[in-house]
Every structure is written in structure tokens, then in C-alpha cells.
Amino acid sequence: MDALWVLVPAGQRASGEWIDDTLRARAAEKGLLGRSPRAGEFPRQRVELVRGADPVAAVNRLYQERGWTDGLPIVPPTLGRIDEMVAAGGRDRHASLGEVAPLAGLATVEKIAANAVMAGCEPAYFPVVLAAVEAILDPAFNLRGVQTTDENVAPLLVINGPVAARLGINAAWGALGPGWPANATIGRAVRLVMQNLGGGWPGAVSFAGLGQPGRYTLCLAEREDTPWPQLHVELGYRPDQSTVTLLRAETVINVTGGLEEVASVMGSAASLFGILHSGKPAVVLSPLTARRLHADGWTRAMVREALFTRGRLDAATWRGSWIRTAVRASDWPGWVSAAAAHGSIPAVREPDDITLVVAGADLPIPQHAYCPSWGYPPCRVTRVIPEAGQGP
């Protein structure tokens, strides 16, 4: 028999209640206790001792049955690992970053650390996780909406600045794919925080009909080696600062080709929710394309302008769409109706609503991605990631 001292990673409200009591009731109502047969069954304390011949397996089994994992194995949040994580974050372990919607578990540094350990984060990643959690707790992010909507939206994390290279946050080959610990685990930590502290359990609280793979993780860095200023510099930060920028991504659509092809996808039904909410989508542009455009005298603003001008949805498509009739006419923004009267609707209200990110490999066949947005209010939330030892 061996044993592990682990921290209870579940959400506790300011009043002391555990959100798992609500979750168990909701899961039972929905007949979803098959996923989490032991929901709510845990010692209502900070710490528990898990024994077993293979305690890592025992923790994994317990946590899955209590509904605390995303379905993949987790790293047990042992007290030693949490201490290392907390130390790397540079903030008091009891400090709370706020309540995680919708079930209002407190995002204390220690609880976030537990979920980061479970996600497999290295301690050095923790300042990024903390900044990202701060960003999703910003009221502008509308976490309640993201967690509970029937749409399949997921947080998209874009990392800029020196921290990306230092932590190995991938911006190149397969930046949105598997194989890179920082990309994989930082995004996963944010998801586990949403699930375990906010209560975003699928089917019980989160009503996304289909979900998307980006709900495991959706995190990349921007390429630093293009001639354009980086996203965070465009947003007003210094090049030597590191930032995380949070967007609400309904999905990730691959587009191979040039700006015309990107504009074509933007001017499609993929943008209907974004148009309804005057949202801020992301366009991930291939580095090769960025260099070529720069050589031809293009700036980032010109790219956005071009996508705004060319990426138009035919008014007839809009009028005939399901969402057009499902939503009251008065709920559509004035700029949409005005544009429709002229025959076509841009994918965004104005060019600057497009968040341009340069990432991917240096392939001769340029690959881009379009991430349409979902939800109110239009949002692009950026937080500075403090350098190690500098505090927030």
C-alpha cells in the first residue's frame, strides 16, 4: 500500500459550499451520473490522502468518477507539486482571482495550481495559467455564457512576447496540434479550472451540443520572426512584455490558399453568430503569406481592411439562414441590417474587430485558420504575464 497527499481540486464558494453538490444534483436530473458516478463524494476538506497499491491510478480513477477530469489521465495534484506550482506563480496561495462562473467556485491560487498540476503543467507555465484565468474572469469575457451556451465555443489563448520562447509555447509546426507540452497543458489547465471551479460539466451545466476538440486545449503563440509588429505590440504593449490574449472561438476552420480564400470562408455561414453578436474573430495567417504581403508593402491593418472588404456574406444567404429567423429581427445589430440593405454583410462590424495572429510552419502551401467568434459582449481580453519573480 502506498499513498498520495492530494489537494481537493473542486470549487468552493465564498460561503464555503462546494459546487459539486449542485453538480451532482444537475447531473442526476440529466441522467448523466454515468460519467461521474461518485460526484460529490469526497472529503469536504482542503486535502485528502489516497491509498492504493498504485496510488496514481487510484487518484485517476477517483477523480474521473467524481467528474474532475476531461477524460484524459491527470497528474495527481500532490501537495509537493502544488507548492512548486504556487511558488512559481509568485502570488499568495490563498489569494482569489475571483468567482468562476457559473457556479461561483473561488479561483484561489492554490485551487488553480491543483488544476494546473492535473493538466500536466510545468511550474514555469503557472504565471501564464494565472494570467489566462484572470482574463476569462474579466466580465468582458462572459464566462457564464461561454460555460452554459448550447454553442460550442472555447477559449482561444494567444501568447505573445518573450515568455513564448522561454516556455516553448509553439507558434510554428503544428501550433494548434498535439506534441507541445506548453500548448497542450496551459489550455488544458484553463479548461479544468472552468470545469472544476466553475462547474462547466458537459450536459449538466454546459449545454454545448457537439463541443469541439478545442475544448481540450486551444493555445498557441504568435511567430516572432515576421517583419510585422506582434499582436501585443499592436494592442499597445511593449515588445519585451509577455501577454496572453483570450478570444472566444466557436471553432477552428482551416483555409489553404491566400487572402481571397480566407475572405471567402469569413463571408460564409460560419460567421453568422459573429455577425449577430458584432463579435471579434481571429484569423491565423501563415508566416509565408505575412512575409510576402509585407514585401509587397502591406501592413497588418491593410490585411484586416482587405478581409473586411472582401469577406462578405451575401444578404440573401443571411435572410435565408436558420439563425436569421430564429432570432428576433430587432436583436440584429443596426449595422447588419444596414449592410444587408446594400446586398452583403461584412463578417465583422469594423476591420479592427479581426484579431490577426501569425502562426504555423513555413510551408510553401500557405495554411491559415479562421476562428469565428461567439457571444456577447464583443471581446478580446489581454493580460500581461509577469516575468518570474516580478509578481502581478
Partner 1 sequence: MLRASAVAERAGVPTASLVCEGFIGQAATTSVGLGLPGLPTALVPGHVDVQSPEELRRNVAAVTVDAVIRNLTEAPAAVAGAVVEPAPGDIVFEGTFDEVNRYFYENDWSDGLPIVPPTPDRVAEFLRFCDRAPDTALGVLLPDKRRATVWNVAVNGVMAGCRPEYMPILVALIEAMADPRYGVEHSGNTPGAETLIILNGPLIKELGFNYEQGALRDGIQANTSIGRFWRLYLRNVAGFLHHRTDKGTFGNTWRVVLAENEDALRRIGWTTIAEDEGVPGGNAVTISRYTGGGVIASVFGNTPDRMLPYLADAIVGKVGWELLFTVGMGVGSQRPLLILSPILAETLARGGLDKSALKRRLFELARIPASKLEKYVGEWTNFMPGRPKLTDLVKAGQIPAVFAESDDPQRLVPLVCRPEDLMVAVSGDPLRTNAYAFAHNGILGYPTTKPVRLPADWSRLLREARAR
Beta-strand (E) ranges in 274-337?
282-285, 312-314
- Measured from the CB of residue 51, what is the shortest distance to partner 1 in angstroms? 9
Cβ distance to partner 1 smaller for residue 21 or 352: 21
Which one of 9-17, 66-74, 277-285, 332-340 is the stretch in contact with partner 1 (CB under 8 A)?
A: 9-17
C-alpha 129/C-alpha 352 separation (Å) is 27
Cβ distance to partner 1 smaller for residue 16 or 209: 16
Q: Does 339 bind partner 1 (CB under 8 A)?
A: no
CB 229 within 8 A of CB 301: no
Cβ distance to partner 1 smaller for residue 8 or 164: 8
Binding mask 38-77 for partner 1 (x = CB under 8 A): -----xxxxxxx----------------------------
Cβ distance to partner 1 smaller for residue 25 or 72: 25
- Measured from the CB of residue 7, what is the shortest distance to partner 1 in angstroms? 8
- Measured from the CB of residue 198, what is the shortest distance to partner 1 in angstroms? 15
CB 290 within 8 A of CB 258: no
Please, what's the b/e burial string for 188-198 (b: 16 or more CB within 10 A of its CB; e: otherwise)? bbbbbbbbbbb
- Measured from the CB of residue 15, what is the shortest distance to partner 1 in angstroms? 5
Q: How many CB atoms lie within 10 A of CB 6?
A: 24
Cβ distance to partner 1 smaller for residue 96 or 321: 96
Indicate the SS3 state at residue 191.
Answer: helix
Among candidate residues 12, 21, 58, the one with its CA nearest the CA of residue 39: 21
Q: Does 104 bind partner 1 (CB under 8 A)?
A: yes
User: What order do you get walking across the sheet with 367-371 strand by strand?
Assistant: 253-256, 367-371, 282-285, 355-358
- Measured from the CB of residue 371, what is the shortest distance to partner 1 in angstroms? 32
C-alpha 373/C-alpha 375 separation (Å) is 7
Indicate the SS3 state at residue 151.
Answer: coil
Cβ distance to partner 1 smaller for residue 5 or 216: 5
CB 195 within 8 A of CB 188: no
In the set 26, 96, 122, 315, which binds partner 1 (CB under 8 A)? 96
Considering CB under 8 A, how many residues would be counted as binding partner 1? 22
Radius of gyration of the chain (CA): 21
Q: Does 3 bind partner 1 (CB under 8 A)?
A: yes
Q: Does 92 bind partner 1 (CB under 8 A)?
A: yes
Q: Does 138 bind partner 1 (CB under 8 A)?
A: no
Cβ distance to partner 1 smaller for residue 15 or 330: 15
Which one of 23-31, 89-97, 142-150, 208-216 is the stretch in contact with partner 1 (CB under 8 A)?
A: 89-97
Cβ distance to partner 1 smaller for residue 16 or 178: 16
Which one of 90-98, 127-135, 234-242, 309-317 is the stretch in contact with partner 1 (CB under 8 A)?
A: 90-98
Copy the grid coordinates of residue 29.
436530473
Alpha-carbon distance values, 389 to 80, 83, 124 (Å): 20, 15, 11
Binding mask 13-42 for partner 1 (x = CB under 8 A): xxxxxx--x---------------------
Beta-strand (E) ranges in the chain?
2-7, 47-52, 96-100, 105-108, 154-160, 219-221, 242-249, 253-256, 282-285, 312-314, 344-346, 355-358, 367-371, 381-385
Interface contacts to partner 1, rule CB under 8 A: 3, 5, 13-18, 21, 43-49, 79, 92, 94-96, 104
